[in-house]
Amino acid sequence: MQANRGLLTVTLTLALLDPRSVNANEPPTNENSTHIREVVALSTRGGVACTGTLISSRVVLTAAHCRNATRASIGSTITESSETRAVSRFVSHPLKGVDLALAILEEPFQAVIPLHFDTDDEPPAWVEVVGYGCDRLNDCRRLGEQKVFRSRSEISNWGCGWNVAAQKGCLPGREMLLPAGLGVDTCRGDSGGPVLATTGDSWTVVAVTSRSVKGRGNTCGAGGIYVRTAPHKDWISQMIAEVEP
């Protein structure tokens, strides 16, 4: 996230109901996770900076504050030999304050089926949070390694009701707030990554990693704010149609 999680990562245990045991003093493990090929790492000259999701053959959904990314790579761990595509242009959401963007690739990845984005206003019961970021702000040994964690969500108003909006800094009706679970949270390198829900036998992107909760700066472990995709479905669909008519 940056204040925005300028880059961020992954384990969100919603309402602390994750059935896995996670030691808050140890890096989260992904032993029960599966590499999701449609989720990509977005990089600058300095290396992995953000995460994104392929929602069409050449369109990556990510966060607007990831605008400096110049390439997208796929793989469970990103290395110099990873399959990579150049970003030809970056289109931020037209409304100020909406931390959503589309990275348009010069060429599509082969044999990758893009994921759907959410058009439903109902929060899912379970989500998977995915990112290539650090485990903690001061622990980036696994930066560039995709991490996937399943979490149970039993929160009303997507966690961002008017009763908490001012305190936490989220936008009711447009954003999703997830508390940090057991001291583990999204962090540097995870910005733009997806919050996924299952629809039948496929994934749906319900939100995009954006930033830390209000007043916590770039701190990882305090909970995060995620931009929901459903309120912006018309803009996303319009942009995909322009890129791939």
Does any domain span residue 3? no
> Does residue 124 sit within a domain?
yes
Same structural domain, 100 and 140: no
For residues 131, 133, 138 and 141, what is the CA-based torsion angle, rounded to 10 degrees?
Answer: 120
Please indicate, yes or no, whether residues 187 and 145 belong to a single structural domain of this protein: yes
- Asked whether residue 191 falls in the same domain as residue 202, the answer is yes
What's phi and psi for 111, nearest 5 deg? 60, 35
- Quick one: pLDDT at residue 20? 22
> Are 65 and 143 in a shared domain?
no
Structural domain count of the chain: 2
Residue 110 lies in domain: 39-114+234-243
pLDDT in tens, the chain (245 residues): 554 554 333 333 232 222 222 222 333 333 344 678 899 999 999 999 999 999 999 999 999 999 999 999 999 999 888 999 999 999 999 999 999 999 999 999 988 889 998 887 788 877 888 999 988 778 888 999 998 876 666 567 888 888 888 888 999 999 988 876 655 578 889 999 999 988 777 889 999 999 888 776 666 777 789 999 999 999 999 999 998 86
Both 104 and 92 in one domain: the answer is yes
Tally of CA atoms within 13 A in the half-sphere of 233 that contains its CB: 11
Q: Are residues 168 and 188 in the same domain?
A: yes
